[in-house]
């Protein structure tokens, strides 16, 4: 994929654009179905180099399990990352692992409930459950759009 073409393509995204989202597998199949019901396409890591469409963002499910892969793809493709924490922080995770997993280049972080956020010491930008409440559907679509429009920067 041409990085410049991908960056320019993201300039034309509108709030109703159907996004191409690179994402790592999660055991939570309801969440995958939820994102697809919003009208967006999910592309697994395994298919990223073979796809003909340009991705708009990376959705990283559970930061500790996929940090390295998500961060590397973000850097290679200059894509923003939406980190979604579905599970509480593993109490056996070292402080170093947790610190490393919080250092995405260009990201926004969401927990799906307050208990998960509390286990991570409330490091997420917001708590956003996913359900069929019309307000949540609007909130998730808005969040995906806003993250896809983030300018990639390395600090």
Q: Is residue 142 part of a domain?
A: no
- Percent of the chain, pLDDT > 70? 90
Average pLDDT over residues 7-30: 84
Residues 134-144 have pLDDT tens digits of 999 999 999 99
Q: Which strands make up the sheet holding 126-127, listed edge to edge? A: 41-44, 20-23, 57-61, 81-85, 107-111, 126-127
Q: Which residue has the higher pLDDT, 128 or 78?
A: 128
Q: So what's the pLDDT on residue 40?
A: 93
DSSP class of residue 49?
G
Q: Is residue 141 part of a domain?
A: no
Q: Is residue 54 part of a domain?
A: yes
Q: Is residue 128 part of a domain?
A: no
Residues 123-136 have pLDDT tens digits of 889 999 998 899 99
**pLDDT reading at 3 higher than 90:** no
Residue 74 domain boundaries: 22-27+43-110
CA dihedral angle for residue 150, residue 152, residue 153, residue 154, rounded to 10 degrees = 130
Give CA angle at 154 (36, 101), nearest 5°: 60
Q: Is residue 103 part of a domain?
A: yes
How many structural domains compose the chain?
1
pLDDT band, residue 110 (cuts 50/70/90): very high
Q: So what's the pLDDT on residue 5?
A: 64
pTM here is 0.88
Q: Is residue 95 part of a domain?
A: yes
Q: For all residues of the chain together, what is the average pLDDT?
A: 85
């Amino acid at each position: 994929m041409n990085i410049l073409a991908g960056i320019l393509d993201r300039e034309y995204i509108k709030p109703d654009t159907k996004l191409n989202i690179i994402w790592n597998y999660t055991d939570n199949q309801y969440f995958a179905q939820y994102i697809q019901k919003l009208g967006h396409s999910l592309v697994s890591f395994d298919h990223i180099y073979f796809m003909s469409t340009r991705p708009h963002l990376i959705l990283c499910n559970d930061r500790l399990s996929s940090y390295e892969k998500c961060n590397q793809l973000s850097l290679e493709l200059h894509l923003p990352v939406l980190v979604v924490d579905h599970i509480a922080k593993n109490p056996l995770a070292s402080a170093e692992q947790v610190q490393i997993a919080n250092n995405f280049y260009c990201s926004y972080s969401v927990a799906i409930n307050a208990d998960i956020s509390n286990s991570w010491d409330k490091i997420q930008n917001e708590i956003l459950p996913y359900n069929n409440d019309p307000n949540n559907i609007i909130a998730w679509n808005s969040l995906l759009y806003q993250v896809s429009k983030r300018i990639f920067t390395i600090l």
